[in-house]
Amino acid sequence: MDPGPIGHFLTATLISTSTILFLETFSILACQYSSVGTILPSMDDWYNLTPVFDWIHCCIISVSLQFMIALLPLFIQELVRRGTGHPIIRLGKQFMFFSPVSDIFSTQIYTHSIISNLTFGGARYIVTGRGFASTRISFSSLFSRFAGPSIYLGMGTLTSLLYVTMAL
């Protein structure tokens, strides 16, 4: 097996779990800190957390840079093939049709699959033949399969992000 996809799935798993842990840690800090950046009056024994918030600020900048670097190959490919205006239009279409949301959804499904296979077992090699089997599955069945590992977790993460943003 090619080691490339294994690294991709492992990275996706680490990014997914570290994002959740980052937001949970940030939520705990938001409970202990006031909106002006000082320790709440009832928390006299807490240390000054300004270096922690500086570190979080650096993490947010690095994630933003990583996101822009991930879009760079698509931008350069379109720039070389079609000229100056097309890369901007293509990236605009990607964001207009919520392509990053779709990527996050598929990454979360991969992450859930890897974690459940490592935890409970069940991964096996499926022999591929000439025919590709496809079946029609109802929306309710698909929703029940993918709601837990992606949609509910995404809504919880969004709620945590909104709480942290409002609290700080």
- DSSP sequence for 65-87: HHHHHHHHHHHHHHHHHH-SHHH
| CA count, 13 A, side-chain hemisphere, 36 | 4
Does residue 67 lie in a domain region? Answer: yes
Does residue 29 lie in a domain region? Answer: yes
Q: Which of 110, 116, 95 is nearest to 150 (CA)?
A: 110
Does residue 156 lie in a domain region? Answer: no
Could you list the residue range(s) of the whole structural domain that residue 102 is in?
12-119
Q: What is the pLDDT of residues 21-60, one digit of tens each?
A: 888 888 877 776 655 555 555 555 556 667 777 877 887 8
Does residue 164 lie in a domain region? Answer: no
Q: What is the mean pLDDT of residues 72-83?
A: 84
Does residue 137 lie in a domain region? Answer: no
Note the pLDDT of residue 97.
86
Note the pLDDT of residue 3.
46
Q: What is the mean pLDDT of residues 119-143?
A: 72
pLDDT band with cut points at 50, 70 and 90 for residue 1: very low
Q: What is the pTM of this model?
A: 0.58
- DSSP sequence for the chain: --HHHHHHHHHHHHHHHHHHHHHHHHHHHHHHB-TTSSB-TT-TTSPP-HHHHHHHHHHHHHHHHHHHHHHHHHHHHHHHHH-SHHHHHHHHHHHHTTHHHHHHHHHHHHHHHHHHHHHH---------SS-------HHHHHHHHIIIIIIHHHHHHHHHHHHHHH-
Dihedral sign from CA coordinates of 85, 91, 94, 98: negative
Does residue 20 lie in a domain region? Answer: yes
Contact in structure between 33 and 40 (CB atoms under 8 Å): yes
Number of domains observed in the structure of the chain: 1
